[in-house]
Structure 1
Amino acid sequence: MPQLQCVWDIRAELGEGPVWSVREQVLYFVDIAGQAIHRLHPASGARASWPTPLRPGFVTPVSDGTLLCGLKDGLYSLDPTGGEFRREVAVEPGLPGNRINDGCVDSKGRLWFGTMDDGESVPSGALYSVTRRAGGLDVRHHDEGYVVTNGPGISPDGRRLYHNHSPAGIIYVFDLADDGSLSNRRVFARVGDGYPDGVVVDSAGTLWVGVWNGGRIARFLPDGTALPAIPVPGALNVTKVAFGGPDLRTAYVTTARRNTPPDRLARMPQAGSLFSLRVDVPGQAPVAFPATEFDALHGMTLGRD
């Protein structure tokens, strides 16, 4: 069984959303409750952090070297050199009790993200996609009825999208068309002994799913068959995996201290930290969100952030 090591003893309250930048050879991730974005350069060990004005759900590289961040009430751009945030578009302004949660970019440069009820009780969350258009961002609503959304994740052929309804323990799969439309939502797998959190799909199509309150990474083959889970002894709440490194064979794992009983924290002092392990099958090449309409039209971001 692969052995995990702690690569940043940051002890985040709610570590989430790891994503690898090919351009920078760094890993970004967020601390939702701690209202911060973090960056690790594994080769040198250099670290950087940016406080966020609102709780961040995800961060993703943009093709011009900036970042696009899903904060509580909308999508914001961030220039890491200056640390300044600018709101690009509001999301669900009529639902102040909601917030943006997890997100990812597919092979065509589309951003996918979900929203959720911040109180984790009302099924007010939804699934959205975002494309770059002349004059700004085009946000498209796809599905709804979620209390807590997590994922999304995309299959290597770009034809399937996976998305979690975490409190129900359900991983859904949709058919994803070339034009970005979704259809045929169905149950892909169910997770017990914990709740499915963030999803990432490797280059072979295997799903890696962080298990909240489960202390492990669940894994599923493309046909839904469960593979042996990977224990994460350092944390009860495992949130998400991202593949990085020059060969995309280092799996980085975010975790959270939040909602860990005090007796468990005493035995898991590094809960909330960033862990890693080496894997045999690489992840998919990360894709940056396009900075301009020209990038979006000509596919200049594909695997090249």
Structure 2
Amino acid sequence: MDTPAQRWTTERFQLGEGLRWTPSGLVGVDILTGRLLALDTEAPVRPVRILAQLDGPLGAVAPVRGAAGRFIAATGPGVAVLTVGADHDLQVEWLARPEDGAPTAMRMNDGCCDPAGRFWAGSMAYDETEHAGALYRVDPDRGVHRVLEGYTVPNGPAFSPDGGLMYLADSADGRIDAYTVTADGDLDGGRVFARVSEGGPDGMQVDAAGHLWAAVWGASRVHRYTPDGRLDRVIALPAAQPTSVCVVGAETPHLFVSSAAIGLEPGGEHDGAVYRAAVDVPAPPAAAFGAPS
């Protein structure tokens, strides 16, 4: 096990998540407070800058191709495009609200784009009803499709550098699945890629060498897996509930890790903070929504 990571923020977030390296810098969310946050990658800054405040939960965002200050977002019961103005005014354009009226109260959770510019995001029940969650795909033409069902707490997804492989975790079941992604965005060949014996895999990212990084909720650590599913690196954290990961920097790459304080009463002083650790392989920035030119 590696040396514990450095604490990067003095602030503690309720449910910090969704770290992404974007043209707007390193962004993340505090899901249940609906805040879109910007983090400085060179020096810890307090307070963390708030880019936008939504009325409901905000699961994750991805940049919109060629549109500074615009993000596609997994938020509330669906997917929306957010436009953040220079003075932090916010416009919300809903693309779909597929979880409105579900038998149990649902919200969107984690999400990201693949290299082809499609946005993928999962949904989950507030009370974590078993198998109530689903995975949605938003195509560049803004069509929204329900593509997988039966997950309880879907997290990720994350994509191989060429976009041909998708990893999707079910945190409640302690597993990470892998799917082949066709050119049209269909999924094939689902299989279990890895399981964790303690806690549950949460937010994930694939680096430039094809390693899968996964935050492990409830286990105070981050795992890195080789492309064949072998655990080859562990980073320890003083926070009990790591939630998402993001590698930043090409010359001297660092892994940033968010965490959550929710459900920990009273919780430790480190729970809910963001952490940083040096790593040996860079990762591409977050893929953008929209067809590549």
Q: What percentage of residue pairs aligned between the two structures are identical?
A: 34
In structure 2, C-alpha distance between the alignment counterparts of 1:131 and 1:52, rounded to whole Å: 24
- Which residue of the partner structure matches residue 83 of structure 1? 90
Shift of 1:210: 0.7
TM-score for the superposition, normalised by structure 2: 0.91
User: Mean Cα displacement is larger for which, 75-84 or 178-187?
Assistant: 75-84
Shift of 1:72: 1.4
In structure 2, C-alpha distance between the alignment counterparts of 1:102 and 1:8, rounded to whole Å: 22
- Which residue of the partner structure matches residue 259 of structure 1? 263
Shift of 1:246: 5.4
1:240 is the counterpart of 2:244 = yes
Tell me if the contact between 2:6 and 2:276 (Cα under 8 Å) persists in the aligned partners. yes
Equivalent AA in structure 1 for residue 181 of structure 2: L
- Which residue of the partner structure matches residue 14 of structure 1? 15
Shift of 1:204: 0.9
Equivalent AA in structure 1 for residue 49 of structure 2: A
TM-score for the superposition, normalised by structure 1: 0.87
- Which residue of the partner structure matches residue 303 of structure 1? none
- Which residue of the partner structure matches residue 293 of structure 1? none
Tell me if the contact between 2:170 and 2:176 (Cα under 8 Å) persists in the aligned partners. yes
Tell me if the contact between 1:12 and 1:34 (Cα under 8 Å) persists in the aligned partners. no
Tell me if the contact between 2:208 and 2:281 (Cα under 8 Å) persists in the aligned partners. yes
Could you list the per-position Cα deviations for residues 82-111 of structure 1 after superposition, in whole angstroms to 9, with x for gaps in the alignment?
Answer: 223232322222316111111111111111
In structure 2, C-alpha distance between the alignment counterparts of 1:269 and 1:42, rounded to whole Å: 22
User: Quick one: structure 1 residues 147 and 38, their matched pair in 2 at CA, closer, same or farther if it must change by over 3 Å?
Assistant: same
In structure 2, C-alpha distance between the alignment counterparts of 1:89 and 1:127, rounded to whole Å: 14
Q: How does 1:1-305 map to 2 (within 5 A)?
A: 1=2, 3-21=4-22, 23-24=23-24, 26-43=25-42, 47-49=48-50, 50-63=52-65, 64-65=67-68, 66-81=70-85, 82-95=89-102, 97-133=105-141, 137-233=142-238, 235-245=239-249, 247=251, 249-262=253-266, 265=267, 268-290=268-290, 296=291, 299-300=292-293
Shift of 1:166: 1.1
Equivalent AA in structure 1 for residue 228 of structure 2: D
In structure 2, C-alpha distance between the alignment counterparts of 1:30 and 1:248, rounded to whole Å: 25
Equivalent AA in structure 1 for residue 32 of structure 2: A
Tell me if the contact between 1:248 and 1:284 (Cα under 8 Å) persists in the aligned partners. no
User: Quick one: structure 1 residues 173 and 8, their matched pair in 2 at CA, closer, same or farther if it must change by over 3 Å?
Assistant: same
Tell me if the contact between 1:2 and 1:278 (Cα under 8 Å) persists in the aligned partners. no
In structure 2, C-alpha distance between the alignment counterparts of 1:198 and 1:99, rounded to whole Å: 16
SS in 1 for 2:176: strand
Could you list the per-position Cα deviations for residues 43-95 of structure 1 after superposition, in whole angstroms to 9, with x for gaps in the alignment?
Answer: 47674212211101111111201112211112122222222323232222231
Could you list the per-position Cα deviations for residues 103-141 of structure 1 after superposition, in whole angstroms to 9, with x for gaps in the alignment?
Answer: 1111111111111111112311111211121xxx11122
**Residues paired across the two proteins, number:** 283
